Structure formats: C-alpha cells, structure tokens
Amino acid sequence: MSSKAISVVTSTAVPLKIENVDTDQIIPARFLKATNREGFGKNLFRDWRYIDNDENKPHEDFVLNQKKYSGKILVAGKNFGCGSSREHAAWAIKDYGFDVVVSSFFADIFRNNALNNFLLPVVVSDGFLHKLFTAIIADPSKEITVNLPSQTITLDGGDSETFQISDYKKTCLLNGYDDINYLLSQRAKIEAFEKSI
Amino acid sequence: MSKTLFEKIWEKHVVESIADGPDVLYIDKHFIHEVTSPQAFAGLEKRGLPVFRPQKTIATADHNVPTLHQELPIKEALSRKQVEKLTENCAKYGVELYGLGHPFQGIVHVIGPELGITQPGMTIVCGDSHTSTHGAFGTIAFGIGTSEVEMTLATQCIMQGKPKVMRINVEGKLHPGVVSKDIILHIISKISASGATGYFVEYAGSTIRSLSMEARMTICNMSIEMGARGGMIAPDEVTFAYMRGRKFAPQGPDWDMKLEEWKKLKSDDDAVFDRELNIDAGDIEPMITYGTNPGQGMGISDTVPDPEKLQDESERNALRKSLTYMGFKGGEKMKGMHVQNVFIGSCTNSRIEDFRMIASLIKGKKKSPDINVMIVPGSQQVAAQIVKEGLDKIFTESGFFIRQPGCSACLGMNEDKVPAGEYCVSTSNRNFEGRQGPNARTILASPLTAAATALTGKISDVRELLNVNPA
C-alpha cells in the first residue's frame, strides 16, 4: 500500500462551526508565493488564527488555538472550500495534519483538489453534521471513525451514517493511485481521440 | 434526443467514460499563470514527463506582478522568483509565454478572449476559478487545481464528473445605470453563494442577448461565486463580430468553415435542464454587497438585512459574523456611507468597455480628494486601447491614475492592498474576509457604481449622477 493511501481513520476531531469557509480563509493569497507544495500548514486559517498576523498573538477562541481540540478530522459548516481554486488550500489542511474533512456540502473545485491530495472529503447530512458538532463540543475526547472501505462515518458510541464516493475514486484512495497514473495509462486512447477530431 | 449546449460540447470531448467514476475530458486550450503552475511543472519533472501538447497551453504572468514599474525587476524576492520560475518552465517545456513586458501580457481571462484564443465550442481550463469567464463565447471553461494543471500538461485531459445543467433566463430591459455586473450580483443574491454548486449554468434570454461580449464575460466570470462549475452563453452574431479579425481567430476560408460550426452551438429548443431560474431585468437596481460572500448583495436603495430577524440559527450566526467583520448593522442604509478606497480592475471588470463606461461618467468631473483610487487595466492591449481612444486624458483630467495590467488588489497578492479596517468599493468578484488585504472590507459593485463612489467619496447611486430617476 502506498504511503498516500487512505482507508480507516479513527481520531478526535476539530469542530469549525462556520459556513461558507472560502479558500482565502483557508490560506490567504499572500502565502501563495511558494513554488513547492510543502509547508502551507503553518499558515492554515492564518487570519483567523492570529491577531494582526502575529504568531505570538493567537486568537484564543479560534478552534485551532484551543488545546482541547486536536486530531486528524476537521468538521466544518456547509459549503466548505468555496471561492478560489487554489489547491494550496488542500495542501495546507493536509500539511497541518488533517486526513479527513467532514461537512454537509463542499464546493466542487475544493472537493476535487482534496481528493487529488488524499484528503478525504466526507459529505454528511445536515442532521448528522449537527450531531457531530454537538458531540465534539460537549466532549472533545470523543473519537470519530471514518471507514472508506465501508463508506461509513461513526461517532464514538453509536451514531453512524454512510457517505458517497465513486468506485473509481475509492479505488484510487485505497491504493494511493492518482489521476495522472490513470491518464498516462490511457495515452493510446487519447491519441486516437485526437485523430478523430 | 434533444440536448443542451453544455451536453453537446461535453460529449464531443469525452475520451472515455469510467463506470461509476469521472469522464476523461479532452481539453482544447489550457491557460497557465505563475501562481498555480510551478508545482505542476515540478510534478512533471519528478515523473520525467514532457508537456504532451505544448502548443495547446498559453502562459501569462498576472496574479503576482506589480502594477507600477513593470519594466524594473520585481522588488519582492518571492514574487520575483515565482515569475522567473514561470519563464524558466515555459522555456524548458516549450510553452508560449506572454510575460511581463510582452504586448499580449495581462489577466489570463482578459487576454484569451481579446487575442481570439478563446473560441466557441472549446473546452478550456486554467488553474483559476474565474476561468468560467471564457464561457461567454459558448465554451465549457472552468477552474482547476494544480494537480489538474499537471494532468492537463501531461495528457491534455482531466478527469471530471459531469455536472448537472441549470439555465438562468434574464428577460426584459435594464434600467439606466444598471449594467451586467448588477445582473450577476442580483442573480447571486437570489441564488446564494452556494446555490449553483454541482451545476454548469447557461445564461439565456433577451437581456443576455442584448449584451456586448465584455458584459457577457462579466456575467460568466462570476458563475463560480454561486458555486457553479462554470457559466456559458450560446454564441451569436455579437460573438462572431467580436471575434472576427482577432490575432488568433481563424482567418479566410477557415473562418467561414468555423463560423458554420459555431452557428450550430445552441441548446435545442426542447432541451431539458435540471433546473431553471427566471429573472426579470426590470427588477434589477445598481447592486452592492454588504457581507463577506458574493451572495450577500442588495440593491443600492435597500437596507442591510437584520440577522436578529432570521429564524434559522446557523444563518443568523453567519450573517452576524459577516456584519461584524464589515462593521455594518442590520437595518441601515449603505448609500451615503464614506469609504476610503475604490478599486477598478480584475478579470471581472477591466476590459475596454469598462473604461469607456467609466470615462463617459467621469468626464468633466473631479475625483473626491478623500478617496484612494486604484485603476488597473486587464491587459497591455486594453491599456494601449485606452490611450488610443484618448480615455487616459479623461482619467487624468478627473484626477485618476491608471496603473499597469495585473490581478492587483482583487486578491492582494502583490503590494496592491486595501489597508486594514478600511472600506473598498471594488469592481472585483470576491468580498471574502481579508481578500483585498488583512482585515480589508470589500463592497462589490459595478464599474459605474465604483466610479460614482470615487467622484463623491461616498457609496453612491450612479443614477443620481446620470440624472435618471431610480425606479
């Protein structure tokens, strides 16, 4: 199994109870000047994390600054990842240490970017999202299990929901394959298509 | 079977459909820029791959370039390195680059159409969400992430699930002072910042047909702001007249042949859309936004909505958060409020028609001394045309200074930023928190509303300057 592959994640979670989180909040444009993919995690939610852009002045009430919350799962309000197509947003979330983002609704481009970086976007119902927020906030030590093979998300102690993902993407994530590997294997078909147009 | 325009173009570009998976979609034209391409080229290098079809990719530097003294080396080291990396990559992989100093340089979504590279029926991608702009020519054009940029460079294909299709019909005559930016801000305020997620939108109706190509581009540009994968308008005589004779548009017999193909690009009369929305153009006022997403917009004579009147708790909290950031209160009017900044530019509104429209409003009037105004043309060609038409003199006489082309304060990546806490009436596309600089407060509006604000120093109803009665 490739090191990128993702299968079952059991972890505590960080509750980001905000809707319409856009990719400018996830990683502001002024941090997009790097020409590699690494190191964006330290600027994740930069302007929500720090007062006046000063790392010595954290916003105490922002979830990433609250010591009680940690883990590999980010739970966020609906329409997560809207706005700019910057893949740096997915890189920042992954680099910070999250493997899964749960929301009731993801923006299309972010969702593709997340999948291409082995960051699993899990779509749950509004009701289940509400349950997750309530449970995590009441007890931050509560664990959530996201099981990709069975396509289920389970809250420690019982409540569970299934989530959708295409067979193709599921196979990719479970085996650490990416779309480029697939497309390169289809080169003959692509060349034949070009001749047909 | 009858089909929508979207379906016709999509199906023509599917190389392969994967069962319970995405389609492999062939891409006709790929635009790249300095910010979202370096990691894609690094990926190619790591895999030891060439660019598969280098002649189908066009590069420019726009997101992170200065808008003053472009003839000098870029001062800021990281920005300079990013722009140099693009130059290096394009030379190494054989990709055409319209970099700084090139007469074709400019915002990627301005130069594609003005050079005639964008053509009806194409599939177009770029690592930028406002790629939807090119849909104004009847193309399937959408923004992609850097992994997808790498895919396109490596194979000229990407893997995409087919979105649903929505048609938005705009019918009737616009009131004086109301322009295409107001139409799209009105639509987004009706449908919300996420209301078209999962859809590709076709704009139709008599109002849309009556618009110029520049105005149509403004509308398609902001499709992403309601979550849509992209937006498109069927090509017509307006499209063909705009395209004829452009640098990379087909010429001679090729033009005639292409024209016949392009004329067929429309949705069948009985095509079925997954969703339809009807808008009455007569309902639209000059629009402004009050919040921190583009769906939070209203007519200029309206009052800011009151969060305490909302029933839904999460909606109430979201609106409270937005208004706290913006420093507005529910129930207040924004018209007449003092603002410190106006930004005129971005891929939404920086084309020649925008400058003509503003020039006709400001001619013989003076800029308010209390306001900082940043004016940034979309491309070198737009900048040259401004001079050719003598519009620069009108701007100068009114006290305005025109900078050099780039994305500028739309996203505040370069040094063009709105100071913390200050307001900016902006012709750009996003009023997100911090978008134009940390703690900057953005109010989206049309070029006319922005220019009226620049003259008065206050959020202004352009109809009062035009001496037309608000409806």
> pLDDT for A13-39, tens place per residue?
999 999 999 999 999 999 999 999 999
Most B CBs within 10 Å, among A27, A44, A84, A166, to test the B interface: A84
Facing A166 at nearest CB: one of B20, B82, B439? B20
Facing A30 at nearest CB: one of B82, B227, B413? B413
d(C-alpha B395, C-alpha B362), whole Å: 8
- Residue B468: pLDDT band by 50, 70, 90 thresholds? confident
Any CB–CB contact under 8 A between B29 and chain A?
no
Q: Which residues of A touch B21 (CB under 8 A)?
A: 166-169
Of B112, B135, B271, the residue nearest B208 (C-alpha): B135
Amino acid in position A164: Q
d(C-alpha B146, C-alpha B38), whole Å: 9
- Other C-beta atoms closer than 10 Å to the C-beta of B303 total 16
Structure-block tokens of residue B71: 């003839």
Structure-block tokens of residue B289: 């936004």
Any CB–CB contact under 8 A between B24 and chain A?
yes
Name the helix (H) or strand (E) containing B450. Answer: helix B447-456
- Residue B113: pLDDT band by 50, 70, 90 thresholds? very high
**B404-414 burial by CB neighbour count: b if 16+ within 10 A, else e?**
bbbbbbbbbbb
Q: Which residues of A touch B293 (CB under 8 A)?
A: 20, 22, 82
Any CB–CB contact under 8 A between B336 and chain A?
no
In chain B, residues 177-196 whose CB comes closer than 8 Å to chain A: 193-194
Q: Which residues of B touch A183 (CB under 8 A)?
A: 24, 151, 154-155, 157, 159
Residue of chain B minimizing CA distance to A195: B15
> pLDDT for B155-193, tens place per residue?
999 999 999 999 999 999 999 999 999 999 999 999 999
Q: Is A87 close to B24, i.e. CB distance below 8 A? A: no
- Residue A2: pLDDT band by 50, 70, 90 thresholds? low
Q: Is A47 close to B318, i.e. CB distance below 8 A? A: no
User: Helix, strand or coil for residue B89?
Assistant: helix
Facing A37 at nearest CB: one of B39, B79, B154? B39
User: What distances in angstroms separate CA B16 from CA A178, B1, B148, one per listed residue?
Assistant: 17, 21, 17
Most B CBs within 10 Å, among A26, A33, A129, A190, to test the B interface: A33
Q: Is B157 close to A20, i.e. CB distance below 8 A? A: no
Q: How far is CA B384 from the centre of its chain?
A: 21
d(C-alpha B84, C-alpha B113), whole Å: 25
d(C-alpha B205, C-alpha B232), whole Å: 13
- Residue B436: pLDDT band by 50, 70, 90 thresholds? very high
d(C-alpha A119, C-alpha A180), whole Å: 17
Any CB–CB contact under 8 A between B436 and chain A?
no
CA distance A25 to chain B (A): 7
DSSP letter string over B197-240? Answer: TTEEEEEESHHHHTS-HHHHHHHHHGGGGGT-SEEE----HHHH
Q: Is B412 close to A29, i.e. CB distance below 8 A? A: yes
Facing B293 at nearest CB: one of A20, A28, A190? A20
Q: What is the pLDDT of residue A1?
A: 44
Size of interface A-B (CB pairs under 8 A): 179
In chain B, residues 254-313 whose CB comes closer than 8 Å to chain A: 293
- Residue B313: pLDDT band by 50, 70, 90 thresholds? confident
Q: Is A179 close to B127, i.e. CB distance below 8 A? A: no
In chain B, residues 105-124 whose CB comes closer than 8 Å to chain A: none
Q: Which residues contact B120 (CB under 8 A, 6 or more apart)?
A: B137, B138, B139, B235, B239, B261, B262, B265
Q: What is the pLDDT of residue B314?
A: 85
Q: What is the ipTM of this complex?
A: 0.96
- Other C-beta atoms closer than 10 Å to the C-beta of B337 total 17
Q: Which residues of A touch B85 (CB under 8 A)?
A: 35
User: What distances in angstroms separate CA A133 from CA A13, A59, A106, A179, one per listed residue?
Assistant: 9, 20, 17, 33
Q: Is A190 close to B438, i.e. CB distance below 8 A? A: no
> pLDDT for B127-158, tens place per residue?
999 999 999 999 999 999 999 999 999 999 99
d(C-alpha B187, C-alpha B401), whole Å: 32
> pLDDT for B63-83, tens place per residue?
999 999 999 999 999 999 999
* % pLDDT > 90, chain B: 98
Q: Is A107 close to B26, i.e. CB distance below 8 A? A: no
Residue B104 contacts residue B381 (beta carbons within 8 Å): yes
Burial of B209 (0-12, 13-18, 19+ CB in 10 A): middle
Q: What is the mean pLDDT of chain B?
A: 97
Which residue(s) pair with B116 in the sheet? none
Q: Is B193 close to A20, i.e. CB distance below 8 A? A: yes
Structure-block tokens of residue B438: 């940390």
Structure-block tokens of residue A83: 């706005």
d(C-alpha A30, C-alpha A33), whole Å: 7
**What is the total residue count of chain A?**
197
- Computed over its alpha carbons, how large is the radius of gyration of chain B? 22
Q: What is the pLDDT of residue A197?
A: 85
Widest CA span of chain A, in angstroms?
A: 61
Residue B176 contacts residue B354 (beta carbons within 8 Å): no
> pLDDT for B392-408, tens place per residue?
999 999 999 999 999 99
Residue B95 contacts residue B89 (beta carbons within 8 Å): yes
Facing A83 at nearest CB: one of B24, B26, B432? B432
d(C-alpha B223, C-alpha B185), whole Å: 10
Structure-block tokens of residue A89: 């947003």
Q: How far is CA B415 from the centre of its chain?
A: 21
User: Helix, strand or coil for residue B190?
Assistant: helix
- Other C-beta atoms closer than 10 Å to the C-beta of A86 total 31
| Residue of higher predicted confidence among B471 and A155 | A155
Residues B181, B184, B185, B191, Cα dihedral to 10°: 180
pTM of the model: 0.97
Residue A140 contacts residue A68 (beta carbons within 8 Å): yes
> pLDDT for B354-384, tens place per residue?
999 999 999 999 999 999 999 999 999 999 9
